[in-house]
Chain A
Amino acid sequence: MNAHAPIPDLAAPGLETGCDIRQERGQRAVFCGLTGIVWLHRKIQDAFFLVVGSRTCAHLIQSAAGVMIFAEPRFATAILDERDLAGLVDANEELDRVVRRLIERRPDIRLLFLVGSCPSEVIKLDLSRAAQRLSQSFHPDVRVLSYSGSGIETTFTQGEDACLAALVPEMPRAPETAAPALLVVGALADVVEDQFARLFADLGLAEVAFLPARRAGSLPAVGPNTRILLAQPFLADTARALEARGAQRIAAPFPLGSEGTTGWLAAAAAAFDVPAERFARVTAPGRARAAVALDLYRERLADKRVFFFPDSQLELPLARFLAREMGAELIEVGTPYLHRQHHAPELALLPVGTRVVEGQNLDAQMDRCRAAKPDLTVCGLGLANPLEAEGLATKWSIELLFTPIQGYDQAGDLAELFARPLKRRTRLEV
């Protein structure tokens, strides 16, 4: 998992950055990777996510999913009990029984993910073998895969990375002779995905696919002629798995804000030799609309001092957007994990001297935040109200995962998410 990934040497060619990058260890206030299920199950419409874990895991998903849990959700938890731990029952037989009951109950399911948790990882329940065994017994109706969303191995959005990485071996092989194809990787809101598909079509890219696909059975092919474009910054393992199958990654900033979206599309256009004139013509309307939309919020965000607590790995591109397009000042940009290569274009765009902190020591970071008295603090829901009570304006970060924020037509919405708490503070008279 990411925690074990070798950290590239910062002095390596192509990774120069003017940022002040530090690492920190200690108490962390972050979600585990199980949380990714909450948006992934909306994206892959015929998939079911079965967490194998404890009551804590079930309680976490319930807390994170809020009211969604009752719309016949496609996720559940197989709660381990003392009999499973004491070896009184065969945990594998128990798992088979639970899965059988589940599939009887939900015959519409085509893809089942067994999702590992801290307890299942610590007791070393082999979910990948269980997935193979169950896949055979339910073949061809249901495919069973496994990945880990445990807190000991994954932080929040890394759960999506682990899930998509588990899908990569399932993707069909594209022949060596296939035409060059673009694969956009990372779950995007359907509306955003559709916008990007139209833009790529207008740019003349004939073969464009998205991972994850909306249905489990329609996974795109991958091969040496596949170019992958990461739509999300937290896909280290997925990119590595795709590269292992011959695909080549297109380095690009992430499509947040007008500049990020242009940079992202431009990188793809360059890889597919789209003429500059065509690129300018196709992207002009989007850039113009984004410019109008962003003007509405620039006054409110300009010169505002912003502090990011680590949460999703979206922090760097978000900070870049706020600094360069909205004129905000960055005090500290925390990120749970910094993939030097995937983030290189973002690091290059951040203002020189930006303090980037990888990892967390919660109390120390809160002390720094209080001392800096930022105008806006981006943080999780466990910290937001306490910091508000101390007089700091906050933007709770989880919303940035559930709201469509990528692309030209969401740039204004993205700025509004940060401007709203500031507006609210000036509005309230009590």
Chain B
Amino acid sequence: MQLTLWTYEGPPHIGAMRIATAMKGLHYVLHAPQGDTYADLLFTMIERRDARPPVTYTTFQARDLGADTAAIFQDAVAQAYERFRPDAMIVGASCTAELIQDDPGGLARALDLPIPVIPLELPAYQKKENWGASETFYRLVRALAGGTPTPRTERRPLCNVLGPTALGFRHRDDLVEITKILGGLGIDVNVIAPLGATPADLGRLGAADFNVVLYPEIARAAGLHLQKTFGQPMVETVPIGVRATLRFVEEVSAAAGVDPAPVLDGAPSRLPWYSRSVDSTYLTDKRVFIFGDATHALAAARIAATELGFRVVGLGTYTREFAREVRAEAALHGIEATITDDYLDVEAAIQAAQPELVLGTQMERHIAKRLGLPCAVISSPIHVQDFPARHSPQMGFEGANVLFDTWVHPLMMGLEEHLLGMFREDVEFHGAAAPSHLPRHGTEAVAVAGEAPGPAEPPVAADALSAPAGPIILTWATEAEKELKKIPFFVRGKARANTERFARERALPLITLETLYDAKAHFGR
């Protein structure tokens, strides 16, 4: 048993729903108790879909338990076929139905429907959402993929794009960017799957020359299968960030045997110039903590370090399947990766790393809010505001533009930070003033009061499990406390912690002005 308040991933059948909902002409019959239909609203509310997911639930109740549930399942499959007339069906069990041990695959097969019916084995007590999505897509591809390429002399190069799903973080817009790049290179797209594909489209997968795997968590297994079965090479570089996109363009061009120049020559992204412009100088060595799914966390770490000049002080993922890659990347930054699906561990790691910016999921957004830190979202799980109406990709050259704006926005603009340092005794720029991009409720009133207590100290964690204070009771001398307040709020927490650590290490019970500056000299900025 694991004590859980928040879970980064849903159960595996949610992953299967993401595949089914992404596709057309596919129906999912899920053996599940009454109540599991809650998952519908992830799609209708968070992603704002305009139709119910193509899922029929058996919604059995206590009175149905016993021999009845198998019959209920068969009725549900038969009725779903009659009503929706899908081209193919997937059938499986949710966590509770897994326990009652009806056999969805066998029961469905017994109905002898005139369409492919693909059974799913999704172990709900071992695996999670992304695994469920990957396994479902793999099973579908394995069951349905067919076709052979026509000779290359008669046509342009042809590829499949694999990975985008329903409820995927920016999958809709990433696809637009990738399609644009492929078009610019003169490569035709054979099938995009699962998003928007029909079972018949999966039947044509074999006709392509190679595969582009956009989200390895979801499509690597299917890509490997296609590689083995049809000899299709696989481009697996995730084109998030300028460097990664350039590499992606080169790899795709190589796989297709085309010239990458038409795409690379077009001054494709503004990120490099924005990052070199002097206003960005203040971004140098900004301490950033990164957490998310492996694909997005790895990409973010590279962009942060090599394209924005940040210092990566924390890196982690909840995707255990890719823990090795993330550990290797963390080692490059001289840190140890945080591999966990417990958000309390992540919170502790963030507190320990004392970042100036957090890049993470919806949970890290809340953690950062609690700690008073700027934050941007880079990965699922996400809430409704991260399915925006506007075009907002992460991938490709436009994606890099989006990332620059999204990550820099929560930080103070360079000029603003400078002014705050220079005029910090002024009414407008006093130490307790929040950056204009980071509104803080209730601080406006005290802002003009001058010597008001700064609101921006990271609050001490309310939970009783957080590390107790050291044995020495530290006291701040009045003038040292006053001096601390003159330090801009966004580094004040770090300055306080560093000073106290310095004092504790030297067993100094009283922190004076000298201690403060000794510590500053010791640790540097």
CA–CA, A107 and B462, complex, Å: 12
- Asked if B99 and A123 sit within 8 Å, CB to CB, the answer is yes
User: In the complex, how many angstroms separate the beta carbon of B379 from the nearest chain A beta carbon?
Assistant: 16
A-B contact count (CB 8 A): 195
CA–CA, A205 and B496, complex, Å: 58
- Asked if A152 and B33 sit within 8 Å, CB to CB, the answer is yes
User: In the complex, how many angstroms separate the beta carbon of B421 from the nearest chain A beta carbon?
Assistant: 32
CA–CA, A228 and B292, complex, Å: 51
- Asked if B41 and A55 sit within 8 Å, CB to CB, the answer is no
How would residues 53 to 90 of chain B score, 1 for a CB under 8 Å from any chain A CB and 0 otherwise? Answer: 00011111111110000000000100100010000000
- Asked if B5 and A81 sit within 8 Å, CB to CB, the answer is no
- Asked if A152 and B62 sit within 8 Å, CB to CB, the answer is yes
Mostly, the A contact residues are helix
Question: CB-nearest residue of chain A relative to B7?
Answer: A58
B409 at the interface (CB under 8 A from A): no
- Asked if A94 and B3 sit within 8 Å, CB to CB, the answer is no
CA–CA, A386 and B366, complex, Å: 30
A33 contact set on B, CB distance < 8 A: 35
Question: CB-nearest residue of chain B relative to A388?
Answer: B50
Complex partner residue of A122 from B63, B76, B99, CB under 8 angstroms = B99
- Asked if B35 and A122 sit within 8 Å, CB to CB, the answer is no
How would residues 373 to 401 of chain A score, 1 for a CB under 8 Å from any chain B CB and 0 otherwise? Answer: 00000001111111011000000000000
- Asked if B35 and A32 sit within 8 Å, CB to CB, the answer is yes
B59 contact set on A, CB distance < 8 A: 27-28, 30, 151
B417 at the interface (CB under 8 A from A): no
Question: CB-nearest residue of chain B relative to A84?
Answer: B1
CA–CA, A91 and B44, complex, Å: 36
- Asked if B11 and A3 sit within 8 Å, CB to CB, the answer is no
- Asked if B62 and A3 sit within 8 Å, CB to CB, the answer is yes
CA–CA, A151 and B37, complex, Å: 10
Contacts of B18-54 to chain A: CB distance below 8 A? 33-42, 44-45, 48-52
* A27-B56, A84-B1 given; A59·B383 CB < 8 A: no
- Asked if B366 and A27 sit within 8 Å, CB to CB, the answer is no
* A28-B37, A31-B38, A56-B94 given; A121·B7 CB < 8 A: no
- Asked if B5 and A76 sit within 8 Å, CB to CB, the answer is yes
A102 contact set on B, CB distance < 8 A: 3
User: In the complex, how many angstroms separate the beta carbon of B523 from the nearest chain A beta carbon?
Assistant: 31
Question: CB-nearest residue of chain B relative to A53?
Answer: B95
* A123-B99, A382-B40 given; A30·B35 CB < 8 A: yes
Contacts of A152-168 to chain B: CB distance below 8 A? 152-153, 155
How would residues 20 to 60 of chain A score, 1 for a CB under 8 Å from any chain B CB and 0 otherwise? Answer: 00000001111111110000000000000000101110111
* A60-B35, A70-B366, A84-B1 given; A385·B48 CB < 8 A: yes
CA–CA, A31 and B50, complex, Å: 20
User: In the complex, how many angstroms separate the beta carbon of B94 from the nearest chain A beta carbon?
Assistant: 6
CA–CA, A58 and B6, complex, Å: 7
Complex partner residue of B464 from A32, A106, A153, CB under 8 angstroms = A106
A80 contact set on B, CB distance < 8 A: 1, 125
User: In the complex, how many angstroms separate the beta carbon of B411 from the nearest chain A beta carbon?
Assistant: 22
CA–CA, A97 and B1, complex, Å: 9
Contacts of B345-382 to chain A: CB distance below 8 A? 363, 366, 369-370
- Asked if A105 and B465 sit within 8 Å, CB to CB, the answer is yes
User: In the complex, how many angstroms separate the beta carbon of A47 from the nearest chain B beta carbon?
Assistant: 16
- Asked if A389 and B125 sit within 8 Å, CB to CB, the answer is no
* A31-B38, A64-B38, A70-B366 given; A81·B33 CB < 8 A: no
- Asked if B383 and A56 sit within 8 Å, CB to CB, the answer is no
A217 at the interface (CB under 8 A from B): no
- Asked if A54 and B48 sit within 8 Å, CB to CB, the answer is no
- Asked if B3 and A34 sit within 8 Å, CB to CB, the answer is no
Contacts of A48-88 to chain B: CB distance below 8 A? 52, 54-56, 58-60, 62-64, 66-67, 69-70, 72-73, 75-82, 84-85
Complex partner residue of A63 from B38, B49, B83, B370, CB under 8 angstroms = B38
A1 at the interface (CB under 8 A from B): yes
- Asked if B52 and A76 sit within 8 Å, CB to CB, the answer is no
B58 contact set on A, CB distance < 8 A: 27
* A32-B33, A62-B6, A389-B51 given; A119·B370 CB < 8 A: no
* A62-B6, A80-B1, A91-B1 given; A56·B95 CB < 8 A: yes
B308 at the interface (CB under 8 A from A): no
B99 contact set on A, CB distance < 8 A: 85, 119, 122-123
User: In the complex, how many angstroms separate the beta carbon of B502 from the nearest chain A beta carbon?
Assistant: 31
A363 at the interface (CB under 8 A from B): yes
Count chain A CB atoms within 10 A of each CB in B48, B61, B65 and give the residue with the most: B61
CA–CA, A31 and B36, complex, Å: 7
B446 at the interface (CB under 8 A from A): no
User: In the complex, how many angstroms separate the beta carbon of A147 from the nearest chain B beta carbon?
Assistant: 14
- Asked if A82 and B96 sit within 8 Å, CB to CB, the answer is no
Count chain B CB atoms within 10 A of each CB in A70, A84, A150, A380 and give the residue with the most: A70
User: In the complex, how many angstroms separate the beta carbon of A156 from the nearest chain B beta carbon?
Assistant: 8
A60 contact set on B, CB distance < 8 A: 35-36, 38
- Asked if B37 and A382 sit within 8 Å, CB to CB, the answer is yes
A429 at the interface (CB under 8 A from B): no
Complex partner residue of B96 from A30, A31, A75, A122, CB under 8 angstroms = A122
Complex partner residue of A78 from B2, B33, B94, B363, CB under 8 angstroms = B2
Q: Which residues of B contact A (CB under 8 A)?
A: 1-7, 9-11, 13-14, 33-42, 44-45, 48-52, 56-65, 76, 79, 83, 94-96, 99-100, 123-126, 128, 363, 366, 369-370, 383, 462-465
| Given contact pairs A32-B38, A78-B3, A119-B95, a sample of 15 additional A-B residue pairs in the complex whose CB atoms are under 8 Å apart | A28-B37, A28-B59, A54-B124, A59-B7, A63-B41, A79-B7, A80-B125, A84-B1, A98-B2, A118-B33, A150-B35, A151-B59, A152-B60, A152-B62, A380-B41
Q: Which residues of A contact B (CB under 8 A)?
A: 1, 3-4, 27-35, 52, 54-56, 58-60, 62-64, 66-67, 69-70, 72-73, 75-82, 84-85, 91, 94-95, 97-98, 101-102, 104-107, 118-119, 121-123, 150-153, 155, 363, 380-386, 388-389
A-B contact list, 22 entries, CB within 8 Å: A3-B61, A32-B34, A54-B125, A56-B13, A59-B11, A77-B5, A78-B4, A81-B125, A81-B126, A97-B1, A101-B3, A121-B62, A150-B62, A153-B61, A380-B41, A381-B40, A382-B37, A382-B40, A385-B44, A385-B50, A388-B50, A389-B50
Across chains A and B, which 6 residue pairs bring their CB atoms closest together, nearest first? Answer: A32-B35, A151-B35, A382-B40, A389-B50, A118-B96, A54-B95
